[in-house]
Structure 1
Amino acid sequence: MKLVIVGSRLIDSFEQHLSDSFRALGHEVSLMDVTDIVPISAKLTYWASRFIAPIDRAVSLRLANKITKLRPDLVLIVYRNLHPILVDQVKKQLPGVPVVQINPDVLSNLEKQQIMAADFDYYFSKEPFIVDFLRDKMGANAHYLPEGFNSHVYRKPTVEKAVAEWMTDIDVLIFGNLYAYRARIVEQLMRAGINVAVYGTEGPYLRPLVQSTFHGQYLVGPEKARLLYGAKIVFNTIHYAEVTSVNQKYFEINGIGAFQLCDYKPTIDEYTGVPAEQVTYRTMDDAIDKIRYYLAHSQERHELADRQYTHFQQHHTVDLRVEQLLDTVCGGALSAYPLAKEAIW
């Protein structure tokens, strides 16, 4: 199958992981970003489109024309801030080609509701709350599709977990954009006497206490896998706008064999390979108690991490998500795409 994915080319982006999996399954993929049709940065294009309506329409029309020239069998749009005219033009110029929206982000990042105004053939979201609203209130063809981890990039290090922990020498690791809510959580851990190492991108309002433990390194690829696996505990602070769902980190951490403790979300009961109450917390007091417990019980955390690793390798790769998406979109029509059918079956 030949497809176009419209989204970010940034390293470690959801779009990059999707592209890797489609290619691994034998499909021909073109990843298209707004920078392909506008000679300025994606950030400048975003702000210009947000406030200048003619630019907003022009960017989407040019994207539609570029997509059409590639003659894909499937168009998958990850961006949520593009003008709805993009979908109209693609469907007009490529009749019969499914145009799909896949949303890997939280409820608070739906921009100006462009995806709700656009006439997508299919909607996919990791958040059951959004799926229910799109389907039951808007009448959209919406489907639940969790995120996963890129098993082609994030592999379990070959060294034993205990040795990796000794080499890395990190008790608790937190990574990601250092938003205000995440920084306040870090402060609570530090005030409880827990040694925390923070990696990622600095956000606004970073206070001195958190600054003292902030490494400022954005983790990607093998280095990310090495540090997460080597940390005794990876503490995943899921965004407050995740109503019932989790983030991509949740799958990556478990998928490389690291030990993860994260705040509880209802979908974790569906995803986890061990009892959710053993690897989640509901309050910061609960989190601090569990961190202290697992720091003192290395064998137990190693066993839990190993069970999660096996479970997530079997059930939560992006390759599996791609197969699920294709099965939903193409269904019985997969015979029209021999390569896709061969990859899935």
Structure 2
Amino acid sequence: MNNNIGFEIIETKIASAPSFKINGITVHSVYDPLSEARKWAAQIINRIENEGMPDKIIVFGLGAGYHIKALADLLKKQENTIKIEAVEPSEKSFNFIKSNFNVSELLKALKITVLDSACKNVYADASSISQELELDKGSILFCELPSYRKIFPEAYGLTYKLYGINQFFTPSSFKILVVQPMYGGSSTIGNYLHSALLGLGYDVKILDFSKFYDAYKYMGEFTPNEDHVNSLKQSLFNLMSEALLSSVFNEPPDLVIFMAQSPASERTLLKLKSMGIKTAYWFVEDFRTLTYWNTIAGNVDYFFTIQKDDFFTELKNIGANNFHYLPLACLPDFHKKITEINEEDRIKYGSDVSFAGAGYYNRKNVFAQLIDFNFKIWGSDWHVGLPLSLLIQDGGKRFTEEEAVKIYNYSKININLHSSMWHWDINPNGDFLNPRVYEILACGGFQLVDRRRYMEGLFEDGKDLVVFETVDDLRKKIKYYLANEEERSAIAAHGRETVLKNHTYERRIREMMNIILLDSYEQIKSKIETRKQNISELLKETEGNKELHDLIMQFSGKKSISIGDMAESIKRGKGRLSKSEAMILMLWAIKSKLVKLQGL
């Protein structure tokens, strides 16, 4: 949004009602702005008569307030109590208006939402704008001061689309398929993503290819020839791609989200595109280590990453322009603080210091210098000799995610050293934050983590977690925080509060969906609207069933509705279900195979 804004006051025929220009564009009539305002207000009243009574009116553009005052006067004459709210796109324009026009009384009676004119990431801000305007509550009539549409086209487009999305879009009306890889950490993240999507009410399925992993590992048993083995593995990959397409043909989703290393061949992606299915890929890997991203990014609609800067430069170099930074997160329903202590678990998983993860080169070197602490190391690939081998728990077996939660809870200090195959100890140029950062904090664990470039703006050193720079620094901080339990607990508590507020998978999904819905607004709107039935038609068809007719009447402010819309509304209600409501919930549960019936 443009922050370079110029203003000019213009005298009009009405001495008490001047107009003004913003960046050379006249906001109100230079002849009679009050007459113009009354005509505008009459048009809005006409819209209300034709479209139905809204719960509130949102006006894009405060201007000098003439039009809003005129609308308020007409509503008052009709003894109409519809609430009016206004959106002003710029803090700078808002301050200019307050300083130069008599709007003090209007502002007392009006809720004003001022958008950030210096907004750098409209997608990240979209959720907060929707929440501030309460676009998901009740029926809304959206209108604009015409000049503002020209002056602030980007802000208008964003606000109008957000309004439109909240009018036509409900999560239950949007079908998503999450595609998992055969193995790896991104599979776990995919499971968390799936759970969060379900929690938000999306019509979501997951395609899990982990059952193919045994076959993948077995390929080497057929031949010692590496080229032949790779050829067999590629054939398996192609088979999984075909299985994916078969699944999609049976029940086409609106969006397919591929997790890193899932079977997303070029042919598959092109086929999905030809079917009108949007594709997103969440590359939750280090782009410097795994470089297959260069064959994927250009073939999907949306490419999400946990790195930016250098990675974005590389993506631009291959001609991609569809990439977005989306860091990892936690799943609060899973990564949570244990409130009832299990003594057996505390003994097994608890320690002064712990680490949970694979035995990478740099970790082995660092942890060999911590053997004098009460230190437990959990995870696989720790092929080390004495004395470090004495710290490896459960014989170096992989731990479950449920066990990870126990480790984070019962350890006094959780070390989080990001992996590196090239650095002796700590990577001085590390950027992205691994899942462990968020998960330890969500469990209420105290965390010592190596410094990462992208930590700034997400978490605060010494307040949410504690950063170490060197092995000596790590040793000193272990000793200090073991001796200062109260400070350690305060940092862990604040870190938990921060991560639960700002860094959950539900929040990541909202940002991801904002990007997709805003970017593909018309296409997705058209697709969803075709699934819905016209409200007036439904009301005619249900005239003989008073209970069902009255239920549909609740949506009379909308033009169309789906069974998913009705199910979502019923679930938000209170009291005993009617027969019609129970039947709708049952039909929706059968259709989606995801909704659990409650209260029937």
| TM-score, normalization by structure 1 | 0.84
1:113 positional shift: 4.2
1:166 positional shift: 8.9
The question of whether the paired residues in 2 share the 8 Å contact of 1:274 and 1:308 is answered with no
Work out whether 1:197 is the aligned partner of 2:400: no
**Residue segments in structure 2 that go unaligned for 5+ positions in a row:** 1-173, 221-225, 422-428, 529-561, 570-600
- Matched with 2:338 is 157
What is the distance in 2 between the residues matched to 1:100 and 1:49? 30
What is the distance in 1 between the residues matched to 2:229 and 2:294? 12
- Matched with 1:30 is 205
1:152 positional shift: 1.9
What is the distance in 1 between the residues matched to 2:236 and 2:379? 33
What is the distance in 2 between the residues matched to 1:269 and 1:299? 25
- Matched with 1:258 is 445
What is the distance in 2 between the residues matched to 1:17 and 1:283? 33
- Matched with 2:584 is none
Offset from partner CA, 1:74-112 (integer Å, 9 cap, x none): 0111133643222122222x22x2111101122244254
What is the distance in 1 between the residues matched to 2:506 and 2:464? 28
- Matched with 2:266 is 84
**Residue segments in structure 1 that go unaligned for 5+ positions in a row:** none
Identity of aligned residues (%): 20
- Identify if the C-alpha distance between structure 1 residues 279 and 109 changes in structure 2 by more than 3 Å, giving closer, same or farther: same
Which structure would you say has the larger Rg? 2
Partner AA of 1:20 in structure 2: S
- Matched with 1:15 is 190
The question of whether the paired residues in 2 share the 8 Å contact of 1:23 and 1:29 is answered with yes
Work out whether 1:212 is the aligned partner of 2:387: no
Q: 1:312 aligns with which of 496, 499, 508?
A: 499
- Matched with 1:178 is 359
The question of whether the paired residues in 2 share the 8 Å contact of 1:9 and 1:31 is answered with no
The question of whether the paired residues in 1 share the 8 Å contact of 2:355 and 2:376 is answered with yes
The question of whether the paired residues in 1 share the 8 Å contact of 2:297 and 2:303 is answered with no
- Matched with 1:286 is 473
RMSD: 3.3
Q: Which has the higher contact order (CA 8 A, sep 6+)?
A: 1
- Identify if the C-alpha distance between structure 1 residues 58 and 324 changes in structure 2 by more than 3 Å, giving closer, same or farther: same
- Identify if the C-alpha distance between structure 1 residues 158 and 273 changes in structure 2 by more than 3 Å, giving closer, same or farther: farther
What is the distance in 1 between the residues matched to 2:489 and 2:347? 13
What is the distance in 2 between the residues matched to 1:127 and 1:78? 15
Secondary structure in 2 aligned to 1:188?
coil
Equivalenced residue count is 333
- Identify if the C-alpha distance between structure 1 residues 70 and 44 changes in structure 2 by more than 3 Å, giving closer, same or farther: farther
- Matched with 1:298 is 485
1:57 positional shift: 3.6
1:258 positional shift: 0.3
The question of whether the paired residues in 2 share the 8 Å contact of 1:49 and 1:55 is answered with no
- Identify if the C-alpha distance between structure 1 residues 184 and 90 changes in structure 2 by more than 3 Å, giving closer, same or farther: same
Work out whether 1:3 is the aligned partner of 2:176: yes
What is the distance in 1 between the residues matched to 2:231 and 2:327? 32
- Matched with 1:41 is 215
- Identify if the C-alpha distance between structure 1 residues 108 and 228 changes in structure 2 by more than 3 Å, giving closer, same or farther: same
| TM-score, normalization by structure 2 | 0.50
- Matched with 1:331 is 518
Offset from partner CA, 1:100-135 (integer Å, 9 cap, x none): 110112224425446447511110011124641354
What is the distance in 2 between the residues matched to 1:58 and 1:222? 32
What is the distance in 2 between the residues matched to 1:180 and 1:240? 7
Partner AA of 2:177 in structure 1: V
What is the distance in 1 between the residues matched to 2:299 and 2:440? 35
What is the distance in 2 between the residues matched to 1:277 and 1:59? 42
What is the distance in 1 between the residues matched to 2:401 and 2:376? 18
- Answer with 222-231 or 104-113: which moved more: 104-113
